[in-house]
C-alpha cells in the first residue's frame, strides 16, 4: 500500500502480482503459478545435516487505491542441484496459507536433507537454492486474469538443527 514495512530494521522484500495480467502471459506455467514470482538465494549445505529456515511475512488486507489484497498463500522450499539438467534437480517445498491479520507472522520449514536424499537417491544440496514464492490468485470470472496480490518477507534465516 506504499507504506514501507519491516519486521526488524527499516526495509523488507515485497512480492507483488499485478491485477489484470492475462492468462496467456502465464500459459507455459499454467497450473504451476507458485513458481513464477519469488525470492531466492543460492547456498551450499551439508547433505548430512538438517536445517530450519525461518522467515516472517506481512499480508496487508488493503493495498493502494484501497483495493483488496487477494494473496492467499506462499510457497517456501529448496531446490537441489548437482550442476545437472533441470530434470535431475529436486524441489522440496511447503505451502503456507496466510493469515489475514495485518500483523507479522513467523513461518518455519525444516529441510531434513538425509531423509530427502534417502527418498531421492543421487540428489545433493551442496549446490542448492532456497526460495519463498508468492502464489498468484486468478479470477475465473474475469478470463482468469490475475488478482492484485502482495506480501512482505523479512528476517529470513537458516539454521542447522542440532
Phi then psi for residue 41, to 5 deg, are -150, 130
Give per-residue pLDDT as tens, 5-44.
Answer: 789 888 888 888 888 777 666 655 555 666 667 788 999 9
Residue 81 above 70 pLDDT? yes
pLDDT band, very low/low/confident/very high, at 46 (cuts 50, 70, 90)? very high
What pLDDT shows up at residue 148? 87
Give residues with Cβ within 8 angstroms of 136, minimum separation 6: 17, 26, 33, 36, 37, 146, 147, 149
Specify the pTM: 0.85
Half-sphere exposure in the Cβ direction for 37 (13 Å, CA): 21
Secondary structure element (H or E) that encloses residue 39, with its range? strand 37-43
Q: What is the mean pLDDT of the chain?
A: 84
The SS3 of residue 86 is: helix
Q: Please, which residues bridge with residue 105 across strands?
A: 57
Amino acid at each position: 500500500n506504499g507504506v514501507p514495512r519491516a519486521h526488524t530494521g527499516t526495509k523488507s522484500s515485497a512480492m507483488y502480482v499485478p491485477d489484470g495480467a492475462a492468462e496467456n502471459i502465464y500459459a507455459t506455467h499454467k497450473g504451476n503459478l507458485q513458481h513464477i514470482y519469488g525470492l531466492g538465494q543460492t547456498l551450499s549445505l551439508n547433505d548430512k545435516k538438517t536445517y530450519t529456515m525461518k522467515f516472517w511475512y506481512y499480508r496487508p488486507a488493503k493495498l493502494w487505491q484501497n483495493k483488496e489484497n487477494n494473496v492467499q498463500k506462499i510457497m517456501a522450499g529448496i531446490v537441489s542441484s548437482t550442476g545437472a539438467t533441470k530434470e535431475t534437480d529436486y524441489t522440496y517445498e511447503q505451502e503456507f496459507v496466510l493469515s489475514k491479520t495485518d500483523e507479522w507472522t513467523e513461518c518455519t520449514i525444516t529441510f531434513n536433507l538425509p531423509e530427502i536424499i534417502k527418498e531421492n537417491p543421487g540428489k545433493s544440496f551442496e549446490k542448492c537454492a532456497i526460495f519463498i514464492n508468492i502464489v498468484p490468485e486468478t479470477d475465473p470470472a474475469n478470463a482468469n486474469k490475475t488478482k492484485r496480490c502482495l506480501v512482505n518477507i523479512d528476517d529470513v534465516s537458516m539454521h542447522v538443527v542440532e
